Homo-oligomer: A and B are copies of this chain.
Amino acid sequence: MQELVNKVLNNSQLEPKLADEIMTIGRLKKVKAGGVVISPESDSNEMPIVLEGLLKVMRRDPNGNEVFLYFLEGGETCAMSITCCIEGKKKAFNVIAEEDSVLWMIPMGHIDSWVVKYPSFRKFVFDAYQTRFDEMLNTIDSVVFLKMDERLYKYLLDKKQASGSFVINKTHEQIANELNTSRVVVSRLLKQLEKEEKIEQHRNRIEIL
């Protein structure tokens, strides 16, 4: 376990001293696929770093509609958690475990002092922001510039990329929720993608070709 943390921290190029601190101060958290890591209701004051697995960040509107925003992969952290915690604001998003995942939770209290002390941590934080902005812009691109069929296909490819697997275990209904459309539409478009031989469909499972 310690090795896992170390490995991730090393990959992030954090100074050994900082890695030590993070190691000492943080705590391990395991989440099963589908489990909630962060929700608007929870006011945890911890910043999660993904050690293993995959998280997904979703936006939910007041009427209960949802959209998928982006994934958080190994070594990444949730930039929005940082700002929210610092500002003490309510989170405006949900973070859900897309796969069984292992997280390292760091109490926010130390962020400020680490930013001051460790150049590598500043870089880590700014990198996180940069990446998240990119992902958000990417999401906006999909939603604004693409038609639903392209958006769906892009979603499948992203998921493949993030999970490292050609197989996607989701129902049409679940996918429809993440794209904020209806199940029927997803079925229709998936059928189309199948005809174009871009995917293969099975029950509860889609294979990217």
Q: Which residues of A contact B (CB under 8 A)?
A: 59, 61, 63, 65, 67, 69, 79-80, 82-84, 86-87, 89, 92-93, 112, 115-116, 119, 122-123, 126-127, 129-130, 132-134, 136-137, 139-141, 143-145, 180
**A40–B145 alpha-carbon span in the complex (Å):** 19
Interchain Cβ contacts under 8 Å between A and B, 28 examples:
A59-B141, A59-B144, A61-B145, A63-B145, A65-B144, A65-B145, A67-B144, A67-B145, A69-B140, A79-B129, A79-B133, A80-B133, A83-B126, A83-B129, A83-B130, A83-B133, A84-B130, A86-B126, A87-B126, A87-B127, A92-B137, A93-B137, A115-B122, A116-B116, A129-B129, A133-B136, A140-B143, A144-B180
Nearest-Cβ distance from residue A139 to partner chain B, whole angstroms? 6
C-alpha spacing A140/B80, complex, angstroms:
15
Task: Please state if B139 and A140 are interface contacts (CB–CB under 8 Å).
Answer: yes
A126 vs B92: C-alpha distance when bound (angstroms): 16
Query: How far is B122's CA from A86's CA once the two chains are assembled, in angstroms?
Result: 11
- Set of chain B residues within 8 Å of A112, measured between Cβ atoms: 119, 122
**Which one of B86, B123, B137, B180 lies within 8 Å of A145 (CB-CB)?**
B180
List, in ascending order, chain B residues with CB within 8 A of A115's CB.
115-116, 122
What residue in chain B is nearest A112 (Cβ atoms)?
B122
